[in-house]
Structure 1
Amino acid sequence: MNKKILMATLGLGLALTLTACGPKNEKADAPNAKNNAAVEASANKNASKNKADAQTKEETAINKGAVANLDRGIAFDGFKKIHPDAKVESFQLEVEDGKAYYKVEGYDAKNEYEITVDAVTGEIVKNESKAEKTSDKTADIQLAMLESIDKFMEEALKDAGQGYEAGEYEVELDNGKYVVNVEVVKGKKDITYKYDLESGKLIEKDK
């Protein structure tokens, strides 16, 4: 899984209204112009800092799952409603272009399907299908399996240590076993853990 950064923008506007009484004093204009320039420079500096702070907060929010506040079950059920005869072969949370999405992939006897759901609004932003031979597929992920994600994420965070936060994840069938891949991140560092969903054992840790 590739970690993508959730970008946030923060605009700061500053309006200054100056009023003066009596005749215009040209000598006073120069200091005022300098003061205005200094205020504008300070405002721009603060705006840049606020933007950086906002970005950091949003990155933390997506890592913790706060931005992906749509119940994952809604995305799962949404796939089943659109493709009632299809089986789910993978379910994941990923970040693309600064937004969090649930991606659900599945298949039936004749086709493969993929839907992408906005993890905040619930909007289905992509619904694709293609004719494909699927007779060799055996995956059949159930909604109850997704409940294990939080447990494995907590284990990964405990192992990773202080400062790491939850990132993307995926449930899939891998070599005949259902596995849960979870990613934890700390700044530019990330660690991916693969767990056996049934036994709960750690299969692999990839730094």
Structure 2
Amino acid sequence: MKKIILSVGTLSLGLLLAACGQNPIQPSSQTPEQSTQVENSQTTDAMNATKDTDDAEDSTPISTNQTSQQKPSVSVTEAIEVFQKEFPDTDITSIDLDTSFGNFFYKIEGVNDLKEYEIKVDAATKGIREREEDDLDADEKNGVKRQEEKLDLSKLLTVDEVTKIAIEQTQGGQATDWDLDREGAVTYWEVDVENGKQEATVKIHAQTGEVLEVELDD
């Protein structure tokens, strides 16, 4: 009995040693210092991945339906003064503020009893770009056209003020063109606004700011 037991024990021990021999435990080839460096590297990579995600979220553009609005540095009042200095004793019949290759300019027309005049005023320097004058037709002379078309320039709303009103009416966008004109006894601003693919024209009373008309272009 003892031999059998010893034989079984010896066999079991032999099997155990054989199994250990087939799957030997591999000792780590890394020193404690190298293990610490690996852990630090993994931590740094994780932190960088988190930072990249945060940066990507911060760089997401804020959605808005209103674009940045450029403005002329010369006011409409200053442009009127340039015209009146160039052509004394005249009445202004129309003013257009427009852009050409990103530069603003005023086109101003006016008349006296015999002639009609037109100039373009640089909206950055107040310099005169172009200057024209022509004789009025016979039926326009002697104050006829002057009386019918002269603008009311008293208490005139500024370009900034009518731009704000127009953009509120179109719920965003950017104003691209401003015309000061007259219909009947009313002097009004007409402001063109682009909002995405939609264009609109807003007609505004030049003294009171009342919105007279909004026309949408498909």
Three-state SS of the structure 1 residue aligned to 2:160 is: helix
CA distance in 2: counterparts of 1:98 and 1:198, whole angstroms: 28
Aligned counterpart for 1:179 among listed residues 175, 180, 188: 188
Aligned length: 144
Stretch of structure 1 that moved more, 183-192 or 70-79: 183-192
Structure with the greater alpha carbon radius of gyration: 2
**Does the alignment pair 1:65 with 2:103?**
no
**Does the alignment pair 1:108 with 2:148?**
no
**Does the alignment pair 1:157 with 2:167?**
yes
**Does the alignment pair 1:75 with 2:47?**
no
CA distance in 2: counterparts of 1:116 and 1:69, whole angstroms: 15
Structure-2 change in CA distance of 1:100 and 1:171 (3 Å): same
Q: Do the aligned partners of 1:76 and 1:143 also contact (CA within 8 Å) in 2?
A: no
Aligned counterpart for 2:201 among listed residues 182, 187, 192: 192
Structure 1 gaps of 5+ residues are 1-59
Three-state SS of the structure 1 residue aligned to 2:77 is: helix
- CA drift at 1:88: 0.6
Question: Which residue does 1:121 correspond to in 2?
Answer: 125
Structure-2 change in CA distance of 1:71 and 1:199 (3 Å): closer
CA distance in 2: counterparts of 1:126 and 1:188, whole angstroms: 33
**Does the alignment pair 1:88 with 2:87?**
no
Q: Do the aligned partners of 1:94 and 1:168 also contact (CA within 8 Å) in 2?
A: yes
Aligned counterpart for 1:136 among listed residues 144, 161, 181: 144
Question: Which residue does 2:156 correspond to in 1?
Answer: 146
TM-score (norm: length of structure 2) = 0.58
TM-score (norm: length of structure 1) = 0.61
CA-atom RMSD in angstroms: 2.2
Structure-2 change in CA distance of 1:200 and 1:143 (3 Å): closer
Structure 2 gaps of 5+ residues are 1-66
Q: Whose helix fraction is larger, Structure 1's or Structure 2's?
A: 2
Three-state SS of the structure 2 residue aligned to 1:146 is: coil
**Does the alignment pair 1:202 with 2:211?**
yes
- CA drift at 1:198: 4.6
CA distance in 2: counterparts of 1:193 and 1:116, whole angstroms: 24
Stretch of structure 1 that moved more, 139-148 or 167-176: 139-148
Question: Which residue does 2:177 correspond to in 1?
Answer: 168
CA distance in 2: counterparts of 1:152 and 1:72, whole angstroms: 12
What amino acid does structure 2 have at the position aligned with 1:124?
I
Q: Do the aligned partners of 1:91 and 1:104 also contact (CA within 8 Å) in 2?
A: yes
Q: Do the aligned partners of 2:204 and 2:211 also contact (CA within 8 Å) in 1?
A: yes
Q: Percent identity?
A: 26
